[in-house]
Amino acid sequence: MIEVQGLTKRYGAVQAVDDLTFTVKPGIVTGFLGPNGAGKSTTMRMILGLDKPTSGTALIDARPYTSWSNPAQKVGALLDAKGVHPNRSARATLLWQAQAAGLNAARVDEVLSLVGLSDVAGKNVGGFSLGMNQRLGIAAALLGDPEYLILDEPVNGLDPEGIRWVRGLLRALAAEGRTVLVSSHMLAEMAQTADHLIVIGRGKLVADTSVAEFIKANSSVSTQVRAGVDTQALFSALTEAFGADAVTRGADPEGREVVTVSGRASDEVGAAAFAAGVQLAELAERRASLEEAYIQSTEGHAQYVSGAAPAAPASAPAPARAPEVPNA
């Protein structure tokens, strides 16, 4: 189990991680979600002992990462897939990493095959695409056959087939009883990969919940109805049934008058209209998607707002890639 307790990191005036407490359990994939600059990488770096917390603790199996005598066999990590020597082949890169971590060199060809890079094992990584580099980074994380996997944006740069492959790999590794923590800002992907979600915004915990509960808690149901004949009668009946605050009147994209009842499912709204004897021409229920739920839950927590250029901190460049989802 990974236990994060009151974890906090400040860089000068920037509060990168703010009193985070959560646990990551074995046997499932835990998704670590948040908009750009939310503090995911900083948290992962602190779990891995690469950054010193301002306060709080991060423990792996009840001990700090740095206190494990065989860290590469305990924890496999992917942090920055680009941090490799361009003039080394994929095999040489992994051999060097295996050697540095005191791991068996025979494992190198196994992991190359596992990530589908056997055919290009002799090629210099300088010519690798971002997706190939991601695969190489995942191979490096798997070198020690670790019990724990901490992967920062592993699907970044992968094509749909690659994304499916990572998803299958992570699920298989978790099914073997490993503890898998994977960060992403790609919600649709997380929804299909993770069992549990830890959502952060501006360094703070926003949600610690199953994917299903997260959607349920954050998504709002609403029902839009269109009267067959008499919109005023429909509006009055629904206001009477559900209260004035829940019912609004407007127009659909074709300019037809519609009434929307927020917080109510279509069966309730249909029943209320039927009880009032109002004929309906249309009844449509709408539930927020995971993406909408995520934007809603991190609203006000986004570090960088779309359209506005982020102010670059003195010692760390602003993230180069555009956010996958518009920040609220």
Ligand X SMILES: Nc1ncnc2c1ncn2[C@@H]1O[C@H](COP(=O)(O)OP(=O)(O)OP(=O)(O)O)[C@@H](O)[C@H]1O
Binding residues (CB under 6 A) for ligand X: these are: 11, 14, 16, 34, 36-42, 185, 303, 313, 315-316, 319
Minimum distance of ligand X from residue 154's CB (angstroms):
13
Minimum distance of ligand X from residue 202's CB (angstroms):
8
If the CB atoms of residues 271 and 312 are measured against ligand X, the closer one turns out to be: 312
Q: What are the start-end ranges of the E strands in 43-147?
A: 55-60, 75-78
If the CB atoms of residues 42 and 231 are measured against ligand X, the closer one turns out to be: 42
Q: How far apart are CA 308 and CA 295, in angstroms?
A: 17
Give the alpha-carbon dihedral of 324, 9, 217, 302, to 10 degrees.
Answer: -40
If the CB atoms of residues 36 and 223 are measured against ligand X, the closer one turns out to be: 36
Minimum distance of ligand X from residue 86's CB (angstroms):
22
Residue 247 exposure: Cα atoms within 13 Å on the Cβ side = 21
Cβ neighbors of 295 (< 8 A, separation 6 or more) are 325, 326, 327, 328
Question: What is the spatial order of strands in the sheet that 257-262 belongs to?
Answer: 247-251, 257-262, 221-227, 280-287
Minimum distance of ligand X from residue 60's CB (angstroms):
19
Structure tokens at 301: 């927590």
If the CB atoms of residues 16 and 234 are measured against ligand X, the closer one turns out to be: 16
If the CB atoms of residues 112 and 152 are measured against ligand X, the closer one turns out to be: 152
Q: How far apart are CA 308 and CA 303, in angstroms?
A: 11
Minimum distance of ligand X from residue 77's CB (angstroms):
14
Structure tokens at 273: 């209209």
If the CB atoms of residues 264 and 301 are measured against ligand X, the closer one turns out to be: 301
Minimum distance of ligand X from residue 286's CB (angstroms):
29
Minimum distance of ligand X from residue 171's CB (angstroms):
23
Q: What is the crossing angle of helices 211-218 and 290-298, to 10°? A: 70
If the CB atoms of residues 255 and 317 are measured against ligand X, the closer one turns out to be: 317
Cα separations in angstroms, 254 against 121, 251, 257: 57, 8, 9
Label residues 112-136 b or e (16+ Cβ within 10 Å = b). beebebeebbeebbeebeebbbbbb
